[in-house]
């Protein structure tokens, strides 16, 4: 193994031009880490928000920083305190977001944050899963405690998070109402949505009543209008901004704000659902690692159907 690797890093905050394709040293794993050779890394909105500097006061990063916290690859080194993995294992992970990420040929990740990748997926599709699926799991399963027979309204159901949330909700036996544009009706219906709302033509609050859970991945006006469709005791879960405590109390509703955490245990459960055919990721495009700037431009455009993935190594 050489001492350096190909990676995309930032040395300052700013636009896509601060993304640099370069050759930093290969990271040295801590005792509880495993070193992963990255085969593919997904691009998520949090990547370019960090790149722009929006989260400087929230997250503790040190520049230069390797972006990308959604990876699939294989184990090449196991720390002395890292249990459960062997060299050669194919794994996937959403690494801790305050450490260097996966736009690189190698990444050191805590063993507790890693799981064996779904055997039914190749590396690009596996890399598309962790962050989005953990977001859906921690919102619907942990925060909302979604149960069979309940009804959930999922906003932006054709996106990377929304598309997995629809499938997870169906796997748990819930009725799913999905919002997206008419362009995505085929995709969202194929994912299992029971009711589709074209948000460009219909105001969802006029078509939906008395749902148990609203899953908000948009925020702003969409979040504000979502209170109207919940039944008493229902819950509004957002991954964008904290729902109003005052409105929840006034209306007898619950609220939750989810900023996801890494979990190898949850990724193991998600891999099982995928291998059982109950969930599958959808890719928008796969680009070479060196084209990370283009990948960010697509992500920032806000209209990707599924996940954007960087091919790192064969």
Instruction: Give domain status of residue 269, yes or no.
Output: no
Residues 141 and 227 in one domain: yes
Instruction: Give domain status of residue 264, yes or no.
Output: no
Residues 92 and 150 in one domain: no
Long-range contacts of 292-295 (CB under 8 A, 24+ apart): 292/8, 292/19, 292/21, 292/43, 292/67, 292/103, 293/16, 293/17, 293/19, 295/43
The pLDDT value recorded for residue 92 is 98
Residues 118 and 176 in one domain: no
Tell me, what CATH number does 38's domain have?
A: 3.90.180.10
Percent of the chain with pLDDT over 70: 100
Q: What is the pLDDT of residues 167-222, one digit of tens each?
A: 999 999 999 999 999 989 999 999 999 999 999 999 999 999 999 999 999 999 99
Instruction: Give domain status of residue 195, yes or no.
Output: yes
The pLDDT value recorded for residue 22 is 97
Percent of the chain with pLDDT over 90: 92
Residues 98 and 150 in one domain: no
The pLDDT value recorded for residue 61 is 93
Q: What is the pLDDT of residues 143-155, one digit of tens each?
A: 999 999 999 999 9
Count of domains in the chain?
A: 2
With a CB cutoff of 8 Å and minimum separation 6, the contacts of 209 are 229
Split at pLDDT 50, 70, 90, the class of 305 is confident
Residues 229 and 194 in one domain: yes
Residues 143 and 235 in one domain: yes
Residue 224, pLDDT above cutoff 90: yes
Residues 154 and 81 in one domain: no
Instruction: Give domain status of residue 175, yes or no.
Output: yes
Split at pLDDT 50, 70, 90, the class of 257 is very high
Instruction: Give domain status of residue 152, yes or no.
Output: yes
Instruction: Give domain status of residue 157, yes or no.
Output: yes
Give SS3 for 164. helix
Residues 18 and 124 in one domain: yes
Domain span at residue 91 reads 7-129+281-311
The pLDDT value recorded for residue 275 is 98
Residues 96 and 205 in one domain: no
Residues 83 and 144 in one domain: no
Residues 120 and 208 in one domain: no
Instruction: Give domain status of residue 265, yes or no.
Output: no
Report pTM. Answer: 0.93
* Mean pLDDT of all residues in 34-42: 98
Split at pLDDT 50, 70, 90, the class of 302 is confident
Dist CA 107 CA 101 (whole Å): 7
Q: What is the pLDDT of residues 101-116, one digit of tens each?
A: 999 999 999 999 999 9
Distance of CA 223 to the CA centre of its chain: 19
Residue 84, pLDDT above cutoff 70: yes
The pLDDT value recorded for residue 1 is 65
Residues 195 and 107 in one domain: no
Cβ-count burial 63-93 (b if 16+ within 10 Å, e if not) = eebbbbbbbbbbbbbbbeebeebeeebbbbb
DSSP classification of residue 144: S
Token pair of 238 as six digits:
């957002």
Instruction: Give domain status of residue 161, yes or no.
Output: yes
């Amino acid at each position: 193994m050489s001492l350096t690797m190909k990676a995309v890093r930032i040395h300052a905050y700013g636009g896509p031009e601060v993304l640099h394709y370069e050759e930093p040293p290969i990271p040295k794993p801590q005792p509880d880490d495993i070193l992963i050779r990255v085969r593919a890394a997904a691009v998520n909105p949090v990547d370019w928000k960090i790149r722009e500097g929006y989260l400087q006061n929230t997250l503790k990063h040190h520049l230069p920083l390797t972006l990308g916290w959604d990876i699939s690859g294989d184990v090449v080194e196991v720390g002395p305190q890292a249990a459960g993995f062997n060299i050669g294992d194919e794994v996937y992970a959403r690494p801790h977001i305050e450490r260097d990420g996966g736009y690189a040929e190698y990444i050191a990740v805590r063993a507790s944050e890693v799981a064996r990748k779904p055997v039914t997926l190749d590396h690009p599709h596996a890399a598309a899963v962790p962050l989005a699926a953990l977001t859906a799991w921690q919102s619907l399963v942990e925060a909302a405690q979604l149960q069979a027979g309940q009804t959930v309204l999922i906003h932006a159901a054709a996106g990377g998070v929304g598309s997995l949330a629809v499938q997870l909700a169906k796997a748990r036996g819930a009725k799913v109402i999905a919002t997206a544009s008419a362009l995505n009706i085929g995709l969202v219906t194929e994912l299992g949505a029971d009711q589709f709302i074209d948000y460009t033509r219909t105001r969802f609050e006029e078509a939906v009543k008395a749902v148990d859970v609203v899953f908000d991945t948009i925020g702003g006006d969409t979040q504000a209008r979502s209170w109207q469709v919940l039944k008493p005791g229902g819950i509004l879960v957002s991954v964008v901004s904290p729902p109003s405590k005052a409105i929840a109390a006034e209306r007898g509703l619950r609220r939750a704000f989810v900023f996801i955490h890494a979990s190898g245990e949850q990724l193991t459960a998600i891999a099982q659902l995928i291998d059982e055919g109950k969930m599958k990721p959808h890719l928008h495009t796969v680009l070479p690692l060196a084209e990370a700037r283009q990948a960010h431009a697509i992500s920032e455009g806000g209209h990707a159907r599924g996940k954007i993935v960087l091919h790192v190594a064969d």
